[in-house]
């Protein structure tokens, strides 16, 4: 049951991050500096993409191993 909840949480996080990435892609903002503070929108976008990639790896691990069986045919 805990694995099902974890898989559900990961799926929700993937959906949220994907939506944010789509939003940022549709309305890109430039990086800028104001009052000595740097705002890096491109770095934020890159971080979201890395998080999405990691969540997808976790999602695949939670799904378990993929077992494919086959039979050999002699010729």
Q: What is the pLDDT of residues 6-46, one digit of tens each?
A: 889 999 999 999 999 999 999 998 889 999 999 999 999 99
Question: Is 72 within a domain?
Answer: no
Residue closest to 7 by CA, chosen among 66, 65, 67, 60? 60
Domain containing residue 17: 2-62
CA within 13 Å, CB half, 72: 2
* Residue 1, helix vs strand vs coil: coil
Question: Is 69 within a domain?
Answer: no
Question: Is 70 within a domain?
Answer: no
The pLDDT of residue 64 is: 80
The pLDDT of residue 1 is: 58
The pLDDT of residue 16 is: 97
Question: Is 68 within a domain?
Answer: no
Q: Compute the radius of gyration of the chain from its Cα atoms.
A: 20
Question: Is 19 within a domain?
Answer: yes
Number of domains within the chain: 1
Question: Is 73 within a domain?
Answer: no
Average pLDDT over residues 68-72: 76
Q: Let me know if 55 is exposed, middle or buried by CB neighbors in 10 A (0-12, 13-18, 19+).
A: buried
Question: Is 75 within a domain?
Answer: no
The pLDDT of residue 17 is: 97
8-state DSSP, 27: S
| Higher pLDDT among residues 35 and 2, named by residue | 35
């Amino acid at each position: 049951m805990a694995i099902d909840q974890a898989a559900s949480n990961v799926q929700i996080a993937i959906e949220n991050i994907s939506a944010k990435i789509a939003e940022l892609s549709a309305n890109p903002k430039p990086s800028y500096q104001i009052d000595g503070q740097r705002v890096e929108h491109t770095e934020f976008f890159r971080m979201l993409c890395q998080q999405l990639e990691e969540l997808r790896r976790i999602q695949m691990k939670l799904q378990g191993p993929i077992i494919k069986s086959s039979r050999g045919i002699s010729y």
